[in-house]
């Protein structure tokens, strides 16, 4: 049994991690921390978990207690994992970080986008970007895993087959992405209020979103050269879900793009390439660790449109974290993650 610790278990990614691990036959949550909710029982804060974590309560983060775990998940705001990850790694504990702390390979770039100096640049050389469809073998040997963000997961998985095959013009990529309100986190904010977000949709951070350098980093590695990416995120009046509409110029019209995508993801348990002409819906992946993709070439032109949908809290966060856990500990990658999406 894998002894698990969770730092920051009171947010949406934290409770989703608890929900998924409650179904995992080889994982046991031994420690869960929250400075603000120390002493509160998990089942009292989240009644949906009653009967699963009876006796488990939030505690103040303590490196000694956490280092007794086999693996520690950080479901925290950026900057928190910087302070604790080094101590845990030195004690031999594996770290799976759901925040953005170790996703970017360049500490200076991280500081530019997150408004503070990187707190543990010496650990970046050990950090493995946890996108299994790209880095599975590196994940198996990792000490520190940086779980990708939600927008980066949907966007990279949609663009990868085109860039890896050298088909898309890497200088002209567009990602038009929509997210549910849970992507903004559980903290109180006016923009997340029902009266503000309901019956409306808006773009935001057009000038530059924090996920832009992460997406560009992954696409640059896939293409083997610099990329020109325009990324525009939108807030939509739904709780869960990411819908990424991706545009790329592909001049070679002789390539069977449907076959290309199907071949690229044929052995990937959590990427579903839908039949030609499909339009994947976010509700089809709600609660599931699946990315559903469809590829189109409208009017047979050189502009290719890829549709990519995920649940931002599952494949875009906690589910992908558990997928990394399974790979890291040599388990079946689908363990605890095989459930279907929720309908309606």
Q: What is the CATH number of the domain that holds 212?
A: 3.30.360.10
Q: Percent of the chain scored above 70 by pLDDT?
A: 100
Q: Percent of the chain scored above 90 by pLDDT?
A: 91
**One domain, residues 65 and 170:** no
Say what the pLDDT of residue 197 is: 86
d(CA 310, CA 286): 8
Give residue 183's pLDDT band: very low, low, confident or very high (50, 70, 90): confident
Q: What's the average model confidence in pLDDT over 273-289? A: 98
Say what the pLDDT of residue 320 is: 98
**One domain, residues 158 and 123:** no
- What's the number of domains the chain is made of? 2
**One domain, residues 97 and 49:** yes
Alpha helices in 75-211 (DSSP H): 80-90, 107-114, 132-140, 150-164, 194-197
291 catalytic per annotation: no
Q: Is residue 141 part of a domain?
A: no
- Which one of 150, 177, 195, 291 is the catalytic residue? 150
Tally Cβ neighbours within 10 Å of residue 254.
4
- Of 129, 163, 180, the residue that ends a domain is 129
**One domain, residues 289 and 163:** yes
**One domain, residues 159 and 295:** yes
Q: Is residue 188 part of a domain?
A: yes
d(CA 187, CA 93): 29
Q: How many residues does the chain have?
A: 344
Q: What's the average model confidence in pLDDT over 88-94? A: 97
d(CA 294, CA 274): 5
**What SS3 class is residue 130?**
coil
**One domain, residues 183 and 266:** yes
Cβ burial, residue 43 (10 Å; 0-12/13-18/19+): middle
Q: At what angle do helices 212-223 and 107-114 cross, to 10 degrees?
A: 150
Q: Is residue 324 part of a domain?
A: no
Cβ within 8 Å of residue 175, ≥6 positions away: 151, 155, 159, 215, 229, 230, 231, 232, 244, 245, 246, 247
How is residue 153 written in tokens?
Answer: 């997961």
Give residue 85's pLDDT band: very low, low, confident or very high (50, 70, 90): very high
**One domain, residues 176 and 298:** yes
- Widest distance between CA atoms in the chain: 63
Domain containing 107 equals: 2-129
d(CA 35, CA 38): 5
d(CA 33, CA 337): 24
**One domain, residues 220 and 101:** no
Q: Are 66 and 72 in contact (CB under 8 A)?
A: yes
Asked whether the predicted pLDDT for residue 290 surpasses 80, the reply is: yes
Q: Report the Cα 115 to chain-centroid distance in Å.
A: 21
**What SS3 class is residue 109?**
helix
**One domain, residues 299 and 187:** yes
Q: Is residue 298 part of a domain?
A: yes
Asked whether the predicted pLDDT for residue 254 surpasses 80, the reply is: yes
User: Tell me: the pLDDT tens digits for 58-80?
Assistant: 999 999 999 999 999 999 999 99
**One domain, residues 307 and 173:** yes
Give residue 220's pLDDT band: very low, low, confident or very high (50, 70, 90): very high
User: Which residues are registered as beta bridge partners of 57?
Assistant: 41
Task: Produce one character per residue of 218-234: b if its CB has 16 or more CB atoms within 10 Å, e if not.
Answer: bbebbbeeebebebbbe
Cβ within 8 Å of residue 128, ≥6 positions away: 135, 138, 139, 141, 142, 144, 145, 146
Task: Produce one character per residue of 177-189: b if its CB has 16 or more CB atoms within 10 Å, e if not.
Answer: bbbbbbbeeeeee
User: Tell me: the pLDDT tens digits for 120-139?
Assistant: 999 999 999 999 999 999 99
Average pLDDT, the chain: 96
Asked whether the predicted pLDDT for residue 240 surpasses 90, the reply is: yes
Name the pTM for this structure: 0.97
Q: Is residue 50 part of a domain?
A: yes
Q: Is residue 321 part of a domain?
A: no
């Amino acid at each position: 049994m894998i002894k698990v610790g969770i730092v920051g278990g009171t947010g949406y990614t934290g409770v989703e991690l608890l929900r998924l691990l409650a179904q995992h036959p080889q994982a046991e949550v031994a420690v869960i921390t929250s400075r603000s909710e120390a002493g509160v029982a998990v089942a009292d804060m989240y009644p949906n978990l009653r009967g699963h974590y009876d006796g488990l309560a939030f505690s103040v983060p303590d490196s000694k207690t956490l280092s007794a775990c086999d693996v520690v998940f950080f479901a925290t705001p950026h900057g928190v994992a910087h302070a604790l990850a080094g101590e845990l790694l030195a004690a031999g504990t594996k770290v799976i970080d759901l925040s953005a702390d170790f996703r970017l390979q360049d500490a200076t770039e991280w500081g530019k986008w997150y408004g503070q100096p990187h707190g543990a640049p010496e650990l970046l050389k050990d950090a493995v970007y946890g996108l299994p469809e790209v880095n599975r073998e590196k994940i198996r040997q990792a000490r520190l895993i940086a779980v990708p963000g939600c927008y980066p997961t949907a966007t990279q998985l949609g663009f990868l087959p085109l860039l890896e095959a050298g088909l898309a013009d890497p200088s002209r990529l567009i990602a038009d992405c929509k997210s549910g309100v849970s992507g903004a986190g559980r903290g109180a904010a006016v923009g997340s209020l029902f009266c503000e977000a309901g019956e409306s949709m808006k773009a935001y951070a057009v000038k530059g979103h924090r996920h832009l350098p992460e997406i560009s980093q992954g696409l640059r590695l896939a293409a083997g050269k610099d990329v020109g990416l325009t990324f525009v995120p939108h807030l939509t009046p739904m709780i869960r879900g990411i819908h990424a509409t991706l545009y790329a110029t592909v001049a070679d019209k002789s390539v069977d793009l449907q076959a290309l995508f199907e071949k690229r993801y044929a052995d990937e348990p959590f990427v579903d390439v839908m039949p030609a002409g499909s339009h994947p819906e976010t509700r089809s992946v709600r609660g599931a660790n699946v990315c559903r993709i469809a590829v189109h070439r409208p009017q047979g032109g050189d502009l290719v449109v890829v549709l990519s949908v995920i649940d931002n809290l599952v494949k875009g966060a906690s589910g992908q974290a558990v997928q990394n856990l399974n790979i890291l500990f040599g388990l079946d990658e689908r363990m605890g993650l095989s459930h279907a999406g929720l309908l309606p």
